[in-house]
Structure 1
Amino acid sequence: MTVRYEILVPGSSLAFEGGFFGISSIVLVEAGGKRALFDCGHGTTRRLLREGLAARGLALDDIDLLVFSHGHFDHVLNLDLFPNAPILMSRDERDYVETPFEDDPATPRYLPALLSDRDVQLIDGEAEILPGVTAFPTPGHAPGHISLELAAADGPVVLAADALKTAREALSGIPDMEIDPQKRGKAAIREVLRRGKVIVPGHHPTLFKDEDGNLSWSDLQEMPLLIR
């Protein structure tokens, strides 16, 4: 079973003093006759998401499923664009967003209210969520974080989200912004690298792994800045 995927919004790690833009990757996954979005971004990427779907001849209602890697604001707050789509996330993350750690700067405290009237489907551990699409636990950046492994003709593709945000994390093995007292972020990075021949990070262009395990990437992170 070969799965199709397209990056609708490329992730970026660009930041400024005192904050960051929160441009996380949004990926369209097509498998088993279903269209799913892996994460859906927030206000900063709302227009880019709409335009990405429209460029592919898709309307908002054409999305059958939202899959949340975790509950951080830059990955989930466009959920209102897809009011009829079920939401899939890990049970651990769904439980966590009810009572986030006090020093967690990225999980909206109002997220439970946004989820309360939605069809939220929960998974435990590793699970095939669509034909050829396997969700697997990658806690560390968030306690209930999940990533996706896609069956592809040239080898497995891993949509890592923030289990592996940047090339720096991939090369160093050291996670940035680890909101997990159990410190499982390093293990999550190793698991993503072990599984994926192609890896789509949460905030960096796509990574490619050769037969010797060396990583490369060809795209640049670009952001034209407009002063209004």
Structure 2
Amino acid sequence: MTVLADICGYQVDLLVQGFPGKSLENGGLGWSAVVLLRGRGRVILVDTGSFSVRKTLLARLAERGIARHDVTDILLTHAHYDHMMNWTLFPAASVAICGAELDHALAEPIETSLCAELYVRALAESPQLRRLTPGAEALPGIAAIAAPGHTPHHLSFVLDDGAGRVILAADAVKNRAELLAAAGDSTQDGAASSATIANIADLWRARSGAIIVCGHDLPLLNDGDGGTYLGTRRAGILCWFGASLDDSRRIALSTNGDSP
């Protein structure tokens, strides 16, 4: 369990780690962060991951005594497949997304879109849908801020109680490298991404001890320098390159060499 902060009446918990990498041969890797917030009578997920993380997501919730019907609210940062597909797991939750982001996802050409078109269409027609606008309070104590670039209407979410600050940046700032370089990779608008990353970096640096949760990395604590990772990266692949199921190989995808 990775509890990041108690702030604005919520316990903020990293439910699923994001990973700062992409596949070179088989399309997007899409290992994105999922954040759990509990408090004020709510159980909130910020993003829900792709279909491939479904069993992990449910298992992590169960470890915390949470069933899928217990989730009251989902905040989606944007409509890409690796951040929103599992909203269908949570029938009792309101599902909030920037209205303009949803409309943009519905209109994107299927040949180039990273949106799961059937899931996006189902959300647009669902009574669970709640359309957000940038600058609004997404939920009590949680501000929705415009963070364009990666997608035109991406939202990030900020919790600030005057002493602490937690920024749920998602793919507005996908990893530490983007944060420090103030430039985005895999973005629809590079100039907008650079401006957004600079703005979010300023928010993070302005508060000692502030935490940023990037979309595809471990959370980072503002230490006055380049940031301190919170938690230990746990990622890897089990491979079968031989002629037997017993002949497998574990490849750790971590900077510290830990096995997944």
When normalised by structure 1's length, the TM-score is 0.90
Residue of structure 1 in register with 2:22 after alignment: 15
* Aligned partner (choices 56, 59, 70) of residue 64 of structure 2: 56
Q: Which moved more, 1:51-60 or 1:129-138?
A: 129-138
Distance 1:36 1:201 in 2: 18
For the residue of structure 1 that corresponds to 2:235, the secondary structure is: coil
Note the residue ranges of structure 1 that are not aligned, 5 or more in a row: none
Deviations 1:47-94 (A, max 9, x none): 110111001011001100111100000001111111231110112101
Q: Does the Cα contact within 8 Å between 1:90 and 1:123 map onto a contact in 2?
A: yes
Q: Is the 8 A contact 1:8 1:27 kept in 2?
A: yes
Cα pair distance change 1:157/1:17, threshold 3 Å: same
Contact 1:39 1:66 in 2 (8 A): yes
Percent identity reads: 29
Indicate which of 192, 212, 215 corresponds to 2:227.
Answer: 215
Show the counterpart of 2:86. Answer: 78
Q: Which moved more, 1:108-117 or 1:129-138?
A: 108-117
- Matched with 1:106 is 114
Q: 1: CA distance between counterparts of 2:113 and 2:185?
A: 13
Aligned residues: 226
RMSD: 2.0
> Given residue 219 of structure 2, which amino acid in structure 1 is its aligned partner?
T
1:5 maps to: 12
Q: What residue identity is the alignment partner of 2:90?
A: F
Report the Cα offset of residue 110 of structure 1. 2.4
Q: State the structure with more CA Rg.
A: 2
* Structure 2 unaligned regions, length at least 5: 1-7, 205-209, 241-260
Distance 1:47 1:154, change over 3 A: farther
**Cα distance per residue 1:101-151 (max 9 Å; x no partner):** 566441223233221134211122211122221111101101110011013
1:198 aligns with 2:205: no
* 1:131 aligned residue: 140
1:184 corresponds to which of 183, 192, 203: 192
Query: Greater shift after overlay, 102-111 or 72-81?
Result: 102-111
Q: TM-score, normalised by structure 2?
A: 0.80
Change (3 A) 1:53 1:178: same
Q: Is the 8 A contact 2:70 2:92 kept in 1?
A: no
* Partners of 1:3 and 1:151 within 8 A in 2: no
The answer to whether the 8 A contact 1:98-1:112 is kept is yes
SS at match of 1:126: coil
